[in-house]
Amino acid sequence: MADFRLSDIDQQILDKVVEVGNSTTAHTRYYEDHEHEFPPARLEGERGFEEVFPLFGQRKPDDTPMMTFMMAVSIARGSTNGVVRGLGLAMPQGRASGLGNAALQSAGTAEQKAKWGNLFLAMSITEPGAGSDTKAISTTARLDGEEWVINGDKIFVTDGVRCDGAIVWATIDKSAGRAGIKSFLVLRDAPGFELVRKEKKLGIRASDTAAYSFRDCRIPRDHMLGDDETVPKGGGSAAYKGVMKTFNMTRPAVASGGVAKAKGALDFATAELAKEGVAVDWSKSFNQRSAVEQKLIEMEADTEAATLSVLHAAWLNDVRKPNNLESSICKAKGGEVCRTIPQAAMELLGGMSVSHDHLVEKYLRDGRISDIYEGTGQIQRLIIAREILGYSSEELT
Amino acid sequence: MITFELSEEQTMIRDSLQAFAAEVLAPGARAIDEAGEMPEGVIKQGWDFGLIAASIPEEYGGGGGERSCITNAVALEALGGGCASQAVAIMAPGQFVNALIDFGTEEQKAEHLPRYAGSAPVADAVAIQESQFGFAAEAQRTTATRKGNGWVLNGEKRLIPLGDRAGHFLVLAREDGGDGLPAVGAFIVPRDAAGLTVSAESGSQGLKPVPQAKIALNAVELPGSARLGGDTGIDAARLVSQARIGAAAVAVGLCRQATDFAIPYAKERVAFGEPIGKKQSIAFMLADMHIECETMRWMVWKAASLLEHNDPGALKASVLAQDYVRRKAIKVADDALQIFGGHGFIRDLPLEMWLRNARTLTVLDGPVSV
C-alpha cells in the first residue's frame, strides 16, 4: 500500500550521499574560473561517490524499486554543496556513455555498435533556427556516390568539444518533414566539419557546449545510423519515435537535476535563516506565520511536489507501467522549481545571496537549464495537453 | 519503502466510490446545491458502503479493518470527485469516529463506537472552527477549565458539519494554563448538556447544502471522562492535521472533476475558427490543471501515509500538503471556470459551485478527516 517512508538502509545511503557531497566545497567554483579547461579526473580533496556503493549491496530486493530510489539519490546528491553540476555530463560513467552513445545503441546496426561502441559520442540536433521543433531542422544530407554530403549549422552540442564525434540529425528529404530526418555519425576529423566555438553559459560550466558547422562535410555512406535510407510515407518515422521514447526514460533523471538545485537552494536558505533566528514553526496555522515562514513553506511544498512527481514517473517505469505523460509532468515540475526556488531563496536571503562567498547564486545559475534542455517546460505542457485533449502533434502545435 | 501502489482493497474502494460519485453524486450536485438542502437518501446511500464502520475494531461492533489514513484519503478524493458537499455530508461523522479510535479511552470507545457499527447514518460532529477572523486551531478561544475532577467549557464554535443533528460534539478547546497545539484538548459534549446552545448557521459560500450549526458553550460542566483520551488527552497536531488532509483530499477530487469537465468543453467550444483547446493559452491551462491534480494527490497521500504511521514527519508533511492544495486547488477550480468564460459564471453549470467549494475546503480545518 502507498508508502513514502524510506527503509533504514536507504536512509543511510542518502545520508552518506549528502555527507560525501558536502565533504568539500573547495572545487565547487573551479569551473567558474576554468570554464574552457578539461576537468581533471578528480580535484584535490574530493571524495568520490564510490564510498556509497558498498551500501547498495545491503538493499533488500523488496525495498523501494531501483529507478525510484536512484531519483531520490540523484536529488539528494545534486543538492549538496560539493557536487558540480554538469560534471556528470562532462565525465560520464565510462567514456562511451555520451548522449550520442544512447542514440547509437538504440538506432545503430550491430556492426555500427561494434565499430563505434567505444567512442565518446555527443548528440547534435539543435540548430540556430530550430530547437524544440525538431522536425524543422534544415541541415541536409545528400548522397553522393558512396558518401553523404552534409551541409548546415548545429549549436548547443553537449560534450561537443571533448567528444570523438557526434550523432548529427540531418534531413535527406526536407519535404517529408520528420520522416526525412536521419542520424549520421560524424567524426571530428571529417573533411568539411568545423568546431566553430565553445559556448559561454550562465551555469553548468563544467559541461562543454559546442557549435558546429558542416560545409560539404563528407562521411562514408555507412555512417548513417541504421541502414534504412528510405523515407517512410505518411510522416511517421520509427527512428524518430524511438528517440522520443528514450526521452521518457531520461526526463525523470533530468527533472531530478532541476529538483536537486531547488532543494539545495532551499536547504541553504533554511539553514542560513535559522542562524539568524528565522525558522518555520510547523505547529502554526497559515494566518499566524510570518511572510518569510510562509515563503519557506511554499518553497518546500513546491520542491516536495516536484520530488514526488519525479518519484512517481520513475516508479511507474519500475513497475513497468507506461509513464509518457508522467515523465512530462515531472519534467515540467522539475523545470518549474529549478527556477522559482533558487530565485525565492535569494529573495529571502537578501543582498549577500549574490556574493561568491556563498553557493546559492550558483544554484540559480546551474539549476536554470533544467527547464530548457530535454524539452522546455512549454514542450512538456504541449505533450501533456495533446495527451489529455486527445490531439495529435499536428492538431495542437 | 517508497511505493505509489494501492492495495487491492483500496483499489476496489476507490473504483466503487468513483462509480457512485459519477452515477449518483455528480448528477444531483447542482440541484442539491441550488436547493441548499441535503437529501437524507444520499447520505444513506453513501453509508451503505460501510466506510466508517469498516475501521472500527470488532470489539465495538465494527468491521475490524485497518484504521488507514491513506484509505480515507482515497475514499474522500473519490467521493469529492462527484460532489464535495455530498461527500462531506456522508463522511463528516467519520471525523468524530477517527478521533475516538485514535485517542479515545476504552470507556469512550465502548460508549460511542458501537452506534456506528450498522449502516444506518449516525451523526456526531467535531467542532474546531470559531467565530473570529484569523482563526487558528492552535489559538483556541474556547476554554476548558478544570473544576474538581471535571471541566468547564466556555466559548463558541461555528460551521459545524451535521451540527443540526449531531448527538455529540467533540469540542476543541484550550485547556487551562497551556499554550499552542499541545494545550488543545477535545471534549465530548452531549447535545443536551446544560449550558450548550445549538442554533442554525447563517449559510455559507461553499458546501452550501451541508447541514451546519453553531454552538455556544456557556459554563458547560463536564465530567472528567468527557476529555478525549482521559488523562493522556489527545495529540491535537495529529487530529488537526488529519482534518486538514481530509479536506485537501476532497479538494483533489473536486479539481480532477473540474479538469475532466473542462477538457471536452475546450474541444467543443469554437472561437476564431477552431476549438479553444487548440490554443496554447487554453491547452496550457489544462495541462497545468492536470499536472496539479496529480502532484496534489501525491502530497495528500504522503501526508496521509505519515499520519497513518504516526511518523514524526507527519505534522510537517501535513502542513506542506495543506499549503500546496490551498494554493493549487483554488487555482485549478478558478481556471476551470475561466475556460468556460461567462458560462462558468452562470449557475446552470457547476463551475461556480466548484470554485465556492474549493475556496471553502481550503480555508476550513476539516470538515472531514483522513
Every domain of chain A with CATH number 2.40.110.10 lies at 121-237
**A298 lies within 8 A of chain B by CB:** yes
B136 and A288 in contact by Cβ < 8 A?
Answer: yes
For residue A374, indicate whether it is catalytic.
Answer: yes
Q: Are residues B144 and B244 in the same domain?
A: no
Query: What is the Cα A286 distance to its own chain's centre?
Result: 36
Residues of A in contact with B293 (CB under 8 A): none
Q: Which CATH number fits domain A121-237: 2.40.110.10, 3.20.20.150, 3.40.50.720, 1.10.8.100?
A: 2.40.110.10
**Contact call for B316 and A304, based on CB within 8 A:** no
Q: Is A387 exposed, middle or buried (0-12, 13-18, 19+ CB in 10 A)?
A: middle
In chain A, which residues have their Cβ closer than 8 Å to the Cβ of B319?
282, 297
Looking at beta carbons, which residues of chain A come within 8 Å of B365?
Answer: 285
Q: Where does a domain end: B92, B121, B150? A: B121
* Residue B295 touches partner A, C-beta closer than 8 Å: yes
CATH 1.20.140.10 in chain A: give the residue spans. 245-389
**Of B100, B79, B163, which Cα lies nearest the Cα of B128?**
B163
pLDDT tens column, B268-293:
999 999 999 999 999 999 999 999 99
Cell of B318: 501535513
B310 at A interface, C-beta within 8 A: no
Query: Is B311 domain-assigned?
Result: yes
Domain membership of residue B75 as a residue range: 8-121
Which residue of B3, B295, B316 is in closest CB contact with A309?
A: B295
Rounded to a whole number of angstroms, the distance from the CA of B257 to the nearest CA of chain A is 14
Query: Quick check: A315 contacting B, CB < 8 Å?
Result: yes
Amino acid, res. A362: K
Check B136 against A287: CB less than 8 A apart.
Answer: yes
Looking at the structure, do residues B103 and B20 belong to the same domain, yes or no?
yes
What is the rounded CA–CA span in Å between residue B195 and residue B245? 32
Beta-ladder partners of B227: B187
Between chains, do B323 and A298 touch, taking CB under 8 Å as contact?
A: yes
Give the domain-ending residue among B226, B246, B278. B226
Nine-digit cell string for A71: 531519483
**How many domains, in total, are found in chain B?**
3
Contact A384 B323 (CB under 8 A): no
Candidates A304, A361, A374, A394; catalytic one: A374
> Considering CB atoms only, which of B277, B301, B323 is closest to A2?
B301
Tens place of pLDDT per residue across chain A (397 aa): 899 999 999 999 999 999 988 887 776 777 777 776 666 666 677 787 888 989 999 999 999 999 999 999 999 999 998 777 666 665 555 566 678 888 898 889 999 999 999 999 999 999 999 988 888 899 999 999 999 999 999 999 998 998 999 999 999 999 988 889 999 999 999 999 999 999 999 998 888 899 999 999 999 999 999 988 888 876 556 666 666 666 777 899 999 999 999 999 999 999 999 999 999 999 999 999 999 999 999 999 999 999 999 999 999 999 999 999 999 999 999 999 999 999 999 999 999 999 999 999 999 999 999 999 989 999 999 999 999 999 999 999 9
What was the ipTM of the complex prediction?
0.97
The verdict on residue B244 lying in a domain is yes
Query: To the nearest whole angstrom, how far is the Cα of A5 from the nearest Cα of chain B?
Result: 5
How far out from the chain centre does Cα A255 lie?
A: 7
Distance CA A335, CA A210 (A): 23
| DSSP character at residue B60 | G
> Best residue in A308, A319, A323, A330 to probe B by mutation, most B CBs within 10 Å?
A308
Interface test with A, best of B8, B67, B141, B291 (most A CBs within 10 A): B291
pLDDT tens track of chain B, all 370 residues? 999 999 999 999 999 999 999 999 999 999 999 999 999 999 999 999 999 999 999 999 999 999 999 999 999 999 999 999 999 999 999 999 999 999 999 999 999 999 999 889 999 999 999 999 999 999 999 999 999 999 999 999 999 999 999 999 999 999 997 899 999 999 999 999 999 999 999 999 999 999 999 999 999 999 999 999 999 999 999 999 999 999 999 999 999 999 999 999 999 999 999 999 999 999 999 999 999 999 999 999 999 999 999 999 999 999 999 999 999 999 999 999 999 999 999 999 999 999 999 999 999 999 999 9
Interface contact B315-A395, CB threshold 8 A: no
Which of B70, B278, B283 is the closest to A1 by Cβ?
B70
Same domain? B203 vs B274: no
Please name the helix (run of DSSP H) or strand (run of DSSP E) that holds residue A168, with its range, or none. strand A165-171
The shortest C-alpha distance from B298 to chain A (Å) reads 6
> CA angle, A315 as apex, A310 and A318 as ends, to 5°?
135
B326 touches chain A (CB under 8 A): yes
On whether both B161 and B51 belong to a single domain, the answer is: no
Yes or no, beta carbons of A390 and B3 under 8 Å apart: no
1.20.140.10, 2.60.40.10, 3.40.640.10, 1.20.1600.10: CATH of A245-389: 1.20.140.10
